[in-house]
Amino acid sequence: MRTLTSNSNIRKATLADLDAVMAIETESFGMDAFGERQMRYLMKSATSLFYIAETKNLLAGYVILLIRKNSHQMRIYSIAVSSLLRGKGVGQYLIDFALKTAENRLKSSLKLEVRTTNSGAIQLYERNKFTSVKIIPDYYHDGCDALVMKRKP
């Protein structure tokens, strides 16, 4: 497996990234994709941390973390990787970043929801010691269930 180069970095997303983010969002989530308005809101919101991974000046993926003032938990609201760069360590890079961010903010756990049919993502989360908490029936647009997973940083 090829991994990210030393030219890779993670930085805060800006509105200038919106078109590239939307392209990854749409290819990754189809009918369940967030709209441009929602992404714009998340980039500006005080309760979300929106970061992108770049490699060789290409937007490789992004992670959106949600924080609540009095909560000891942080949520991975969305994480996606460009189809051109899947299998090259971008997802792991973003997970590592999310875990470090949760730890730095003294959050006791990190949680997320994933399609029960997304075996690649579930395997990535399990390799990173996320455990299954529960299933939410009919969570996605097409009626697919969501698996809620959680991990302590």
Q: Is residue 144 part of a domain?
A: no
pLDDT above 70 for 3: no
What is the arrangement of strands in the sheet containing 131-136, beginning at the earlier edge strand? 9-12, 48-55, 58-67, 73-81, 109-115, 146-151, 131-136
**Residue 52 bridge partners (DSSP):** 11, 62
pLDDT band at 148 (very low <50, low <70, confident <90, very high): very high
Give CA–CA dist 110/149, Å, rounded. Answer: 8
Residue 126 lies in a domain: no
Mean local confidence (pLDDT), 82-90 = 90
Decide if pLDDT at 21 tops 80. Answer: yes
In a domain, 62, yes or no: yes
- Tell me if 93 is assigned to some domain: yes
Task: Decide which of 56 and 82 is more confident.
Answer: 82
**CA quadruple 15, 105, 9, 77: dihedral positive or negative?**
negative
CA distance 63 to 57: 17
| Cα distance between residue 78 and residue 25, in whole Å | 9
Label the pairing between strands 9-12 and 58-67: unpaired
Query: Domain containing 43 — which CATH number?
Result: 3.40.630.30
Residue 118 forms part of a structural domain: no
**Per-residue model confidence as pLDDT tens digits over 31-62:** 999 999 999 999 999 999 999 999 887 899 99
pLDDT digits (tens, 9 = 90+) for 101-139: 999 998 889 999 999 999 999 999 999 999 999 999 999
Residue 54 in domain: yes
Residue 46: domain span: 9-110
